[in-house]
Amino acid sequence: MDLPLLKNAKKISGKKFLVRIDVNVPILNGEVQDNFRIKRLIPTLSFLKKKKGKIILLSHHSDEKQTLKPMAQYLNTFFKTSFVPDMFAAKAFEEEDALFLCENLRFYKEEEENEAVFSEKLASLGDIYINEAFSVSHRKHASVVSLPKLLPHYAGFLFQEEIKNLEAVFNPPKPFLFILGGRKADTKLALAQKFIDIADYIFIGGAVVNNIFKAQGYEVGRSIVDDGISGFENLMRSKNIVFPKDVVVQKESGVVSVKSPGEVLLDEKILDAGPEALNILKGLIRSSAFIVWNGPLGQYEIGFEKSTIEMIEAFRESKAKKVVGGGDTIAAISKLGDQKDFDFISTGGGAMLEFLVNRTLPGIEVLKH
């Protein structure tokens, strides 16, 4: 993909760098709970530090009331970082030799509205714009799609790495196994449609497959299903789509059992893939050269983690190249596995899925011009 890359940027020393990052990470009692996204920013920030300019960092948090102060404190363990509560204040960026992390962009409704005057005001803070926030580049927000129109711009190192690794999914080593779990059935079933002719096998688990069971006419009881999803009937007929042959269900009384999807009762909830499904999946993992995984197979947060753990163990033994991503998936790996077992972990959740469906994102397109 032809993008202006930060690593190739010329004559940028001493400039004011306006860097869009994504430090949208969980915070508990004022402390960063997951440093995965923040650590991945270090190469770009180190590179810019050497250019002796001013580094102004912009980010959002999904929680519109969450301050970015704890993220500034965390960044401060790597680089001297100053938190800027009001980026438009006259003396906001005066401190010497510091990175500046500005307050949550979503404190300003104009960010999500992609409002023109706000975009101009943001642009006036810097000389050069760098997108190092692939994970929010599916949003048409001011800091993502307007700033590149107003300033010379580049794609950061992580942004470039995301695109390189996710582009590879469209031209994969074979056999290619795609594993989809978790929630967001609409996006994931759209992905399955997209990859039906590219992947050798697509295994569908998690809450996504409940929608298929329901469409097949099975009772799904109290299981999570999304309303109003249609147009995936061809998936049910396709030979390379694999659904769990058995599922773990829990009754309202708490009793847990393993059943075939056709046996689920009204008072039961599907919470994990069963042992037979897992054996089939493990066989597919063993024989694959390339695996993409998004979304846990069961509701591991409440203890239905067996199939996801066993799948991660099977990954560890497999020599396939493994690409994964998504907030749920990364959280599941942190709890049940080890990041070292994967070749590439995308920082994108929605952005990764949307990139895989459309092969681009709004934030990528604007960098091209």
- List beta partners, residue 131: 20, 155
Q: Rounded to the nearest whole angstrom, what is the least distance from the CB of residue 64 to ligand 3PG in the complex?
A: 9
- Rounded to an integer, what distance in angstroms lies between the CA atom of residue 298 and that of residue 29? 29
Q: Using only C-alpha atoms, what is the Rg of the chain? A: 22
Nearest residue to ligand 3PG on Cβ basis:
62
Q: Which of residues 60-79 bind ligand 3PG (CB under 6 A)?
A: 62
Measured distance CA(235)–CA(318) in Å, rounded: 27
* Contacting range for ligand 3PG; rule: CB under 6 A; set: 28-36, 119-127, 135-143, 220-228: 135-143
According to CB under 6 A, which one of 20, 24, 98, 235 is a site residue for ligand 3PG?
A: 24
- Closest CB to ligand 3PG among residues 126, 349: 349
Among 22, 111, 272, 305, binds ligand 3PG (CB under 6 A): 22
Binding mask 302-341 for ligand 3PG (x = CB under 6 A): -------------------------x--------------
Nearest distance from C-beta of residue 22 to ligand 3PG, angstroms: 5
**Where would I find the H helices in the chain?**
36-39, 42-50, 69-75, 109-113, 116-123, 147-150, 157-167, 185-194, 208-215, 233-237, 275-286, 306-317, 327-336, 350-358, 362-365
Residues 198-227 that bind ligand 3PG (CB under 6 A): none
Candidate ranges 134-142, 196-204, 214-222, 246-254; the one touching ligand 3PG (CB under 6 A): 134-142
15, 40, 54, 139: residue in contact with ligand 3PG (rule CB under 6 A): 139
Q: Residue 298 or residue 325: which is nearer to ligand 3PG going by CB? A: 325
In three state form, how does the secondary structure of 313-333 look? Answer: HHHHHCCCEEEEECHHHHHHH
Find the part of the chain contacting ligand 3PG (CB under 6 A) among 64-72, 133-141, 226-234, 271-279: 133-141
> Helix/strand/coil (H, E, C) string of 20-63?
ECCCCCCEECCEECCCHHHHCCHHHHHHHHHCCCEEEEECCCCC
The whole-angstrom separation of Cα 124 and Cα 113 is: 19
Q: How far is the CB of 286 from ligand 3PG (least distance, A)?
A: 32
255: buried, middle or exposed (CB in 10 Å: 19+, 13-18, 0-12)? exposed
Where do contacts with ligand 3PG occur on this chain (CB under 6 A)? 22, 24, 62, 135-136, 139, 327, 349-350
